Amino acid sequence: EDKVVQSPLSLVVHEGDTVTLNCSYEVTNFRSLLWYKQEKKAPTFLFMLTSSGIEKKSGRLSSILDKKELFSILNITATQTGDSAVYLCAVEGPGGTSYGKLTFGQGTILTVHP
C-alpha cells in the first residue's frame, strides 16, 4: 500500500523565521510528488517535482526532491502570518489514466505568529 508521511505534524513559529517541512514516501512506480497549501478547505497547488536534485522556487517557497532517499522538503523563508495553513504532500502513482492517482500525507499544520 502506498504511504506518504509528513513531519512535523505541527509547527509554530514567529514571523521572519525559516521553516522546513518534510515528506517521505513509499509508492510503487513513483511518477511525481506534489505540494499543496490548504487554508480553510480547498487545497491549492504549490509545486510538482519529478526529478531529483532540481529545486523548484516560487517567491519565498522552495522545494526539492530526493528520489534515492524517497523524500522531499518544502522550505519557507521569512515566514509571514499569511503562510499559516496546512501543507500537504501528495505522491502520484500509477492510476487509471495517464495522470495517475494521488496519495496524500496527513499534512503539517504551520502557525506563524506576528
Partner 1 sequence: EAGVAQSPRYKIIEKRQSVAFWCNPISGHATLYWYQQILGQGPKLLIQFQNNGVVDDSQLPKDRFSAERLKGVDSTLKIQPAKLEDSAVYLCASSLGSYEQFFGPGTRLTVL
Over the window 81 to 110, marking each residue x when it contacts partner 1 by CB under 8 A and - when it does not, the resulting string is -------x-x-x--xxxxx-xxxxxxx---
Q: How far is the CB of 78 from partner 1 (least distance, A)?
A: 26
Q: How far is the CB of 68 from partner 1 (least distance, A)?
A: 22
* Cβ 36 vs Cβ 21: under 8 Å: no
Q: Which one of 43, 74, 76, 83 is in contact with partner 1 (CB under 8 A)?
A: 43
Please identify, using beta-carbon distances, which residue of 36 and 79 lies nearer to partner 1: 36
- Measured distance CA(65)–CA(56) in Å, rounded: 9
Rg (CA), the chain: 14
At position 58, the amino acid (one-letter code) is S
Q: Which residue has the cell 516560487?
A: 58
Task: Output the nine-digit C-alpha cell for 99.
Answer: 495522470
Residue 41 interacts with partner 1 (CB under 8 A): yes or no? yes
